[in-house]
Amino acid sequence: MTKQMTRQSGFGRWWRRRGRFVFSHGVLAFLALTMLAPFLWMVLASFKPLVEVEELNPFPSKWQPVNYLQVFREIPFARYYFNSLFVAGWVTFLQCLTSAMAAYAFARLRWKWRDHVFRLYLATLMIPGVVTMIPNYTLMVKLHLLDSYQGLIIPAAFTAFGTFLLRQFMLTIPRSLDEAAQMDGATHWQVFWDVILPLTRPGLITLAIFTFMGNYRSFFWPLVMIKSQHLRTLPVGMLYFDSIYGRQTNLLMAATVMNIVPLIILFVVTQKFLIKGIQLGAVKG
């Protein structure tokens, strides 16, 4: 009798654990499908004729992959693609470089009022981007950088967030490495470039991912700065499909699918570095 009760009790515990497992995974699967639904609708709409886009049936009655070719006929999509990648690539490189140099100064060098200056520098994160939009635009006009690649790249090449993120990484690196390198005759630049920077690689990769994704999909600043068609980036160029002459939703969805492919590939390839970078950056404040 006792063995039977023990067996029933063990079966009950197993069933409860199994039930909790199934329930929790079912909820997570439902949430995942909910978040994935807009993306699936976008992909399916990119293969539909325009007249079927607004219909309730998610699947097209006639698959129309020619929509993707039509995007290239309607707008210089390849040029816009290049502009987005070119600008985002340069902004990412410059942000990583300038943020790493500033972070080294705040984390490894000792100078008067260093922490006070860092707090003021960090306080700029509280200023909304729309507040600095007009001063930046005025500055670009005075420097004659309106309607140019430089006007898109230079204002975005410096960031307090990147400095803060890399400073957190550099604070976790033992100072004994700096002292050992300096005893061997290394300058501050050599310590930064040969010792500190390689050890900050997870943080640099994390910052590069955030920066590239943010600038690749940037819309408002290129819309303000660029007037020439050959300098437009993808988010601005795709406005052609939503104009006063009508909305070509199927072509807009096809262009959007091609637009986000690099971001998906970037995230899939670098997700383990991104997670590791965020975890390591939170070790020391």
126-145 pLDDT, tens digit per residue, is 888 788 888 889 999 999 99
Contact criterion met (CB below 8 Å) for 238 and 77: no
Residue 3 has pLDDT above 60, yes or no: no
pLDDT at 83: 94
- pLDDT the model gives residue 9: 59
Q: How many CA atoms lie within 13 A of 69 on its CB side?
A: 3
| Residues 281/264, Cβ–Cβ less than 8 Å | no
SS3 of residue 29 by DSSP: helix
Pick from 160, 153, 117, 123: nearest CA to 136: 153
Q: For residue range 79-100, what is the model confidence (pLDDT) as tens digits?
A: 999 999 999 999 999 999 999 9
Determine the number of helices (DSSP H) and then strands (DSSP E) in the chain: 14, 2
Average the pLDDT over 235-250 and give the result.
Answer: 79
Cα 81 from Cα 217, distance rounded (Å): 11
- Stretch 110-124: mean pLDDT, rounded? 86
With beta carbons less than 8 A apart as the criterion, state whether 176 and 251 touch. Answer: no
**Domain coordinates of the chain in residue numbers?**
2-45, 67-281
* pTM: predicted TM-score of the whole model, two decimal places: 0.81
The fold of the 67-281 domain, in CATH, is MetI-like fold (1.10.3720)
Q: Go through 134-158 and write b for each residue having 16 or more CB atoms within 10 A of its CB, e for each that does not.
A: eebbeebeeeebeebeebbbbbbbe
**Residue 165: per-residue pLDDT:** 87
Buried residues in 78-105 as b, exposed as e (16+ CB within 10 A): ebbbebbeebbbbbbebbbeebbebbbb
How many residues are recorded in the chain?
A: 285
Mean pLDDT on 223-248: 84
Run of H or E including 26: helix 2-45
pLDDT-above-70 percentage for the chain: 89
CB contact at 8 A, 211 and 91: yes
